[in-house]
């Protein structure tokens, strides 16, 4: 029974974190505002990222929440891919499931910098990602610290910015990104 309760709470938490409320225009506006805030945080931490994003064919910014309960990890979120060549935005959702040791809840942001248009288009159309994650976070607002950082994988640089959470985890996970049909 406790495992079922924790799973249901995790699903409810992630459902709340993975969506924004309001009309489609209001939701798109909230996602664009999140993108601006996250990029400003990234530029403050790594000033060279501004030129990197401007020179790239495109980039994506995602808001994610993750819960890790002993051997299972669940996550969900939303974001937007910006095609720098056409100036268009593609709004997306994401969900993740993983296995590994850990416990905690984490609210974090991801910035994907696509180094070629084909990789970006593949991400928008198929959006599947598998990988491992090991991190530690104890952060609320500006207080505390989190270990995250930067990774370069298959033509994509990924930056992680932890907003808040208390987590210690090492997981192998799969993440699915897909177009949000209600916003595109």
Query: Does 139 score more than 80 pLDDT?
Result: no
Assess if residue 146 is contained within a domain.
yes
Between residues 16 and 86, the one the model is more confident about: 86
Q: What is the pLDDT of residue 138?
A: 44
> Is residue 113 domain-resident?
yes
**Residue range 117-134: average pLDDT?**
78
Q: Do the beta carbons of residue 56 and residue 78 sit within 8 Å?
A: no
Would you say residue 74 lies in a domain? yes
Domain holding 40, by residue range, is 2-179
Q: Residue 105 — pLDDT band, cuts 50, 70, 90?
A: confident
State which of 4-8, 54-58, 155-159, 168-172 shows the largest mean pLDDT.
54-58
Q: What pLDDT score does 150 carry?
A: 46
> Would 22 be classed as within a structural domain?
yes
Is residue 58 predicted with pLDDT exceeding 50? yes
Task: Give the residue-averaged pLDDT of 15-26.
Answer: 69
pLDDT band at 163 (very low <50, low <70, confident <90, very high): low
Residue 149 located in a structural domain: yes
User: Coil, strand or helix: which one is 182?
Assistant: coil
- Residue 17 has a pLDDT of 47
Distances (CA, A) of 118 to 63, 110, 115, 126: 24, 20, 9, 12
In a domain, 167, yes or no: yes
- Assess if residue 184 is contained within a domain: no
pLDDT higher than threshold 90 for residue 32? yes
- Answer whether residue 155 is part of any domain: yes
Q: Residue 51 above 50 pLDDT?
A: yes
Residues 6+ apart with CB under 8 A from 167: 66, 68, 102, 103, 104, 105, 106, 135, 136, 137
Q: Is the pLDDT of residue 5 over 50?
A: no
Check pLDDT > 90 for residue 153: no
Q: Kindly tell me if the per-residue pLDDT of 174 is higher than 50.
A: yes
Q: How many domains does the chain have?
A: 1
* Full DSSP string of 22-87: S-HHHHHHHHHHHHHHHHHHHHHH-THHHHHHHHSSEEEEEEEEEEEEEEEEEEEEEEEEEETTTT
Q: What is the band of 171 on the pLDDT scale with cuts at 50, 70, 90?
A: low
pTM: 0.77
């Amino acid at each position: 029974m406790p495992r079922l309760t924790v799973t249901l709470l995790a699903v409810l938490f992630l459902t709340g974190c993975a969506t924004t409320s309001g009309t489609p225009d209001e939701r798109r506006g909230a996602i664009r505002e999140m993108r601006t805030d996250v990029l400003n945080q990234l530029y403050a931490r790594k000033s060279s990222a501004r030129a990197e994003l401007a020179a790239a064919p495109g980039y994506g910014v995602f808001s994610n929440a993750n819960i890790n309960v002993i051997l299972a990890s669940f996550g969900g979120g939303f974001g937007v891919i910006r095609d720098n060549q056409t100036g268009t935005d593609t709004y997306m959702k994401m969900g993740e499931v993983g296995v590994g040791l850990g416990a905690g809840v984490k609210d974090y942001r991801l910035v994907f910098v696509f180094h070629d248009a084909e990789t970006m288009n593949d991400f928008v159309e198929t959006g599947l990602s598998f990988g491992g994650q090991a991190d530690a976070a104890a952060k609320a607002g500006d207080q505390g610290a989190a270990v995250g950082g930067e990774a370069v994988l298959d033509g994509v640089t990924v930056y992680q910015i932890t907003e808040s959470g208390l987590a210690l985890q090492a997981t192998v996970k799969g993440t699915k990104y897909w177009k949000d049909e209600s916003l595109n």
